[in-house]
Structure 1
Amino acid sequence: MEADLAAKTEEESLLGMHTLVQTALDYKVKGNPTTYNVILSKLQNTSEDEERRQIFLVLPRSISVLTKDLDAYYELIHRIYTFDFMTSQPIIDAYIRLITHFVTAHTTFLQPTIHMLVRNFLRVARPQKAAAPAPPSIASSTLNRRMSIPAVPAVSEAQLEAEFEESLQRRFASVHVAFAKVLDLVPTSIHHVFPCLCDHFPHKRIETPFQLSYLNNLFKLTTYAKGLQERVVGLVVEKLVSIDVEIKLDATEEDVFTMDDFLDDECCIDPEHPSAALDEMADKLDHLMLATFSYLESELATSTHLFSYLLKSFDQSILNTHRSKYPQFLIFYVAKHSIDHQEHFLSQLISVSLDAKVPPVTRLSCSSYLASYVARAKYLSITAIKHTLFHLLRHIHNQVDILEQSGDVPDKCLVDIIQTACYIACFRGLELCSTETGYNFVRSLGWHRVLTCSLQPMRQPVFHASVASEFLNAAELLGLVSEDSLESLLEGMKPAKNLERSAGTPTCFFPFDPYLLRRSFRFIGPQYLYWKHADPNWSGNSEAFALAQSHMKTYDEDETTTVDGEDENASMASSSYASLPGSYIRSSISEMSVVGSYPGSEDLNEPLQHQFQTPQPAVQKPTLYYHDEEEIGF
């Protein structure tokens, strides 16, 4: 009975409000805006909640009137679309009902509805705490009386912040409910969303909480609007890069093998005990990277195309960004979850690094990423590492063949590619040499011929001194280069003979150098290989090194019984190679990321034996064979 009475009263109230709204709209077009202005005042956030709710509930009945003359009712429509979801739930429910009627009734309302919803993804500042009321004055005659004034319980700042954060999350949840309904009722509205997301993205200088709230709302949006995921991922990566380039690192160049020690330094910021010296942009990026990693972690199981979206963003936003520091670790993290992803990423990096048709700056960047990724990704299989080194060394030997005939190197990026191979060997050489087959593979790659050719790669300005030094150290320990050649190469590394090199050497950059953002570090640390764990001289690697030495001894003993015509340093372009039943597949992500299948690959599970071959004509270049459809794994 009481419920029926309440419903009747509600209907009567709504009928009265409907009459008022209709009258206001009618009088407005006739030149009398008095009642119309009353309606506008009732739509203000400071007005009575019940009246606002009733107006929202009755306005759908007047849509036909509003659409007849939108210009006349501009103020009313504008007031409707300045709505803030930071209000009571009954008003929110009435408002969602209103906008869903609007977007289904007339397409004119679609664009402002999308803009309004995206605007409500933005965090608002917490209202200032009202000043405490002054204590009541006490008459002098009462001073001698014993008085008991109840104390007002104080509310802590932390409690106020927690309450405000809770209300913000309720606001965002309501916005997503409204957004999902609009997209469900008008599926084509999704085409209007992405430009709005770009327009409202907070500037990189805006404070971290505002950036973080918007980012999390974008990620939430993609969970029910899958058609936006690719573009949202690309937008987020682009914004992360824009913040990353603002981070200032120590201008002093660290040795690329000893910079890992920096992680144990006191100057590496602990997020729980920040110092005044903390770079604001680095701290902001740390928060945003943490949110992005968390999103990727939650979506990997259900989103089959997420890696492809990231790879496309890598091509467009990260690859050619000068000294990008952290956003590239997103693809480092995602790739670990699938061998197919690892193969695909390596395929793209190898093919672009070795493709003479690609601009040199892009090739050099890919070469740096390839070196750093294979060196640092602990999760890569031995087969993947072998395959990478084989294709690099095959290309290098082909170029050396041409060099020996013509005296000129057709590949202007050859020295950088040699450095890439050496860098990988420094980090993964000991691991490869842990088995006899692996050791035989590393020895068979022809390092002596590459390093002692007329190009003299280690004496070139672009070859980093620390990479050369560490590789020669590993080569000596693992027997990759003869003692005489080592002495000659080390002599060439002396500072007295490299003044020009020292003055002109550009700062070496390996993009997967140690990850220093501590909040988000947990996503990278467990899968990251530090130099200490790869260094043959580290005491913790004594057993692995002893095992490698035993394989070296066996190899040297077997070598003494080989036929005189065989030579481990013969060109890898030799036709004596058996065909490897596998090739790198073509990347479908980017036109420039075409992966060649290199003929003449060998069985990586067998020891490699090389024979000298009649050199190719100087004008002949190695041929790349491309496969559009065939997919053959590692």
Structure 2
Amino acid sequence: AVSKIDITYHHLLLNNIFTIRIWYLQRDTLDAFLDLITRLAAVADQYLRECLQMLVNNFTPPLVQRNELPRWAVSRKKDIFFHLCESLKTISDTVPLAPRILRDIIDRSMPKLFDNKAKMVSFVECMLGLDTDRMGDLIGATLLAKVVDLLTELDVNITWEDIIQGEHNKGIFEMELEDLNEDEDGLGQAGTKVLFGGNACAEKLDSLMVVVCEHLKSCAERGYLDKEFDILKAIFRASVLRVHRSKFCQFIMFYACSLDPKICGLEFAFFLTEIFLNKEEDPISRMSAVSYVGSYLSRARFISADTVLAILKKIVDWCDEYCVLQNRGTTANPNHQIFYGACQAVMYVLCFRLRSIMDYPNLKAQLFQLSFGFILNHRLEPLKVCLPSIVNEFLRQAKDAGLFAASMYSAAEDAIESDLSRAFGGINRLDTFFPFDPYLLKESDRIYPSKFRVLVHGQDDIQQ
């Protein structure tokens, strides 16, 4: 009977098959149809690409309204995604060429910046469902890289002016200090914690961050987090580290680390530190890495005080060596900006972690052996270049702890006092980039509170 079908009708029939929206099919019909698709895909040199494209097209359900899924689609979404992923895995097991073609199809089908939120979320949610077992080994790195690229593109299209209106000339740290001055009981986070909404890119990013974090949590529960983290770390190194002042996408690393603090959490901290210490790395990567590690150690509640001190020692020792080489005039390629960035990172960390380090006598003894006085009083004058808000808070806490000789504080305070009269504070004021500043997206904000540290005067606290 099939041989009797006219060639034109045959092509029309195939076209109808490859454009079907499986979301409208009843369960029995759906099973039979997907079985047909997996069989067609296995026909040699015929319909593999068309079958894969049809399945990928169904990553997004019919959008009845502009930015929302119909209720019936929401109720079927999990089941549909499961069947799509199972069909793609079956085809990949049957046809060795399928994963390579699927990577290309997903690449071409990825949501674009101005696509609506519902389409983006559905596509990414279904796509990440493929990142399991053997399928994940074949295309997992590509899938995650595409997702991170999308997160980054959305992120860079959000400005701080959109987020904190009227406060965009200040850093989050400065606003935290203002909150503390206004509310000394340590609960005054309302001024800083103005959650961000109303911007289309931010709302899309917010929802996607939930999807990605839920995927990472699922990986941890299934014992796959170590593999996923290795892939994420490489993607972060290639695609996120050097992005100028990204605001939110880097928090997927923070969340992944929080799921396994003893392995992923430590690995990320030392990974960033090694990038900073590596003289073969470019200056931008080194500056960004030291900003990241400073912010990470400050904010990650799951990183222990002894780990914080171990990394601080590496950074302080590097600063000490840099000062010595400057005194000798033997620095081959001096880069003071990296030095200033390292000093600022050290002071920033101690603003958050000094008290917790001081709670342990052995760590306190090690801390007091570090050469803070030599570095901060060096002729390069880091106290004049680093952000005054950080320097002042650091000096206040250091003075209370007796970290330096008394004579140093008056000299340091004189230096800061003179620079505070400048319009922007400091000589060649350093960038106010602290990658893990408080998280300001509404929906995904619920993921981070128990893992995140904020600045308080008195006892250590977590984000409320």
TM-score range relative to shorter protein? 0.7 to 0.9
CA–CA distance in 2 between the matches of 1:500 and 1:521?
34
| Equivalence map 1:435-474=2 (5 Å) | 435-460=360-385, 463-474=386-397
**Correspondence for 1:289:** 209
Deviation string 1:252-271 (CA, Å, 9 cap, x unpaired) is 3135153384842498249x
**Correspondence for 2:234:** 312
One-letter identity of the residue aligned with 1:188: L
CA–CA distance in 1 between the matches of 2:460 and 2:131?
46
Deviation string 1:191-228 (CA, Å, 9 cap, x unpaired) is 21111112111112222111111111012122352222
Cα offset, 1:104, TM superposition: 2.2
Contact 1:325 1:511 in 2 (8 A): yes
Contact 1:458 1:468 in 2 (8 A): yes
Instruction: Normalising by structure 1, report the TM-score.
Output: 0.64
Structure 1 residues 23 and 497: alpha-carbon distance in aligned structure 2, compared to 1, 3 A threshold: closer
**Correspondence for 2:438:** 514
Cα offset, 1:426, TM superposition: 1.6
Structure 1 residues 89 and 343: alpha-carbon distance in aligned structure 2, compared to 1, 3 A threshold: closer
Structure 1 residues 266 and 359: alpha-carbon distance in aligned structure 2, compared to 1, 3 A threshold: closer
Contact 2:306 2:357 in 1 (8 A): no
**Correspondence for 2:49:** 111
One-letter identity of the residue aligned with 2:323: V
**Correspondence for 1:199:** 108
CA–CA distance in 2 between the matches of 1:177 and 1:435?
53
Structure 1 residues 266 and 406: alpha-carbon distance in aligned structure 2, compared to 1, 3 A threshold: closer
Structure 1 residues 480 and 340: alpha-carbon distance in aligned structure 2, compared to 1, 3 A threshold: same
CA–CA distance in 2 between the matches of 1:176 and 1:385?
42
**Correspondence for 1:226:** 136
Aligned to 1:386, the other structure's residue is in SS state helix
Contact 1:375 1:427 in 2 (8 A): yes
**Correspondence for 1:23:** 4
CA–CA distance in 2 between the matches of 1:421 and 1:165?
48
| Structure 2 residue 37 is the aligned partner of structure 1 residue 99 | yes
Structure 1 residues 108 and 434: alpha-carbon distance in aligned structure 2, compared to 1, 3 A threshold: same
Contact 2:341 2:430 in 1 (8 A): no
**Correspondence for 1:625:** none
One-letter identity of the residue aligned with 2:16: R
**Correspondence for 2:198:** 278
CA–CA distance in 2 between the matches of 1:96 and 1:479?
71
**Correspondence for 1:180:** 89
Structure 1 residues 429 and 170: alpha-carbon distance in aligned structure 2, compared to 1, 3 A threshold: closer
One-letter identity of the residue aligned with 2:253: I
CA–CA distance in 1 between the matches of 2:65 and 2:325?
72
**Correspondence for 1:370:** 293
Structure 1 residues 164 and 452: alpha-carbon distance in aligned structure 2, compared to 1, 3 A threshold: closer
CA–CA distance in 2 between the matches of 1:340 and 1:127?
44
Aligned to 2:145, the other structure's residue is in SS state helix
| Equivalence map 1:203-602=2 (5 Å) | 203-223=112-132, 225-227=135-137, 228-250=139-161, 251-254=168-171, 256-259=173-176, 261=179, 263-265=189-191, 268-269=194-195, 278-301=198-221, 302-303=223-224, 304-336=226-258, 337-406=260-329, 410-412=334-336, 413-460=338-385, 463-495=386-418, 499=422, 502=425, 504-532=428-456, 535=457, 538=458, 540=459
Instruction: Normalising by structure 2, report the TM-score.
Output: 0.86
Q: Which runs of 5+ in 1 are unaligned?
A: 1-18, 37-72, 129-157, 271-276, 543-634
Deviation string 1:601-621 (CA, Å, 9 cap, x unpaired) is xxxxxxxxxxxxxxxxxxxxx
CA–CA distance in 1 between the matches of 2:460 and 2:406?
23
Contact 2:306 2:363 in 1 (8 A): no
Aligned to 1:493, the other structure's residue is in SS state helix
CA–CA distance in 1 between the matches of 2:285 and 2:94?
45
Structure 1 residues 106 and 267: alpha-carbon distance in aligned structure 2, compared to 1, 3 A threshold: same
Question: Which residue among 17, 21, 28 is the counterpart of 1:80?
Answer: 17
CA–CA distance in 2 between the matches of 1:168 and 1:110?
25
Cα offset, 1:320, TM superposition: 0.7
CA–CA distance in 2 between the matches of 1:415 and 1:507?
11
Contact 1:368 1:510 in 2 (8 A): yes
Give the number of the structure whose residues are more often helix, by fraction. 2
Task: Calculate the aligned-residue CA RMSD, in Å.
Answer: 2.7
Identity of counterpart residues, as a percentage? 22
CA–CA distance in 1 between the matches of 2:114 and 2:255?
27
Cα offset, 1:363, TM superposition: 0.8
| Bigger RCO of structures 1 and 2 (CA < 8 A, at least 6 apart) | 2
Q: If you compute each CA radius of gyration, which structure gives the higher value, 1 or 2?
A: 1
Q: Which runs of 5+ in 2 are unaligned?
A: 162-167, 180-187
CA–CA distance in 2 between the matches of 1:446 and 1:101?
70
**Correspondence for 1:16:** none
Cα offset, 1:94, TM superposition: 3.3
Structure 1 residues 469 and 489: alpha-carbon distance in aligned structure 2, compared to 1, 3 A threshold: same
Contact 1:367 1:417 in 2 (8 A): yes
CA–CA distance in 2 between the matches of 1:88 and 1:309?
38
CA–CA distance in 2 between the matches of 1:164 and 1:340?
39
Cα offset, 1:168, TM superposition: 4.7
Q: Would you say how many aligned residue pairs link Structure 1 and Structure 2?
A: 436
